[in-house]
Amino acid sequence: MKKTILALFCLMTAAAALAKDYHLVTTQLRGAPASGTPAEFPLVYVLLTPDLSGQLNPMVYKAFDSKDMELDIRALVRSGIVAPGSVLHFDPNPILARPSDAQIQTFKDFCNKLGITLTVSLTQ
């Protein structure tokens, strides 16, 4: 019994050591508009996570909770780059449009299924 408890404690400690914080930020895609057209700066979402080498590998998405984003996050968890118990902080820009509460909840549920926690930063 003591060995079982000790083994579980060691596993939980190891998992907690691997768990980290990651960020998903909202920004605008900037660039010079084509001649004679009004400037449009679409919203993009940037997931800031490391790659296999440990280097920061920002991934950019056109839509919040897109299927591409979900596939990438699932692959990061499956590969062990993002460990279960990690926290994904969604940092919306207070001056840009924010995803709906339903979208945020759906994405939060997706993250929970993978064993990671989505937190939403407060904006002014």
* Structural domains present in the chain: 2-120 (3.30.420)
Distance CA 84, CA 78 (A): 10
Structure confidence at residue 50 as a pLDDT band (50, 70, 90): confident
Q: What is the pLDDT of residues 71-107, one digit of tens each?
A: 999 999 999 899 999 999 999 988 898 999 999 999 9
Neighbours of 114 (CB within 10 A): 18
Per cent of the chain over pLDDT 70 is 77
Higher-confidence residue of 6 and 79: namely: 79
Specify the pTM: 0.75
Overall average pLDDT of the 64-72 stretch: 93
Nearest to 46 by CA among 86, 110, 77, 89: 89
The structure tokens listed for 32 are 């010079």
DSSP 60: E
Q: What is the dihedral of CA 59, 112, 65, 58, to 10 degrees?
A: -10
β-pair type (56-61, 43-50): antiparallel
Structure confidence at residue 1 as a pLDDT band (50, 70, 90): low
Per cent of the chain over pLDDT 90 is 52
Mean pLDDT of the chain: 81
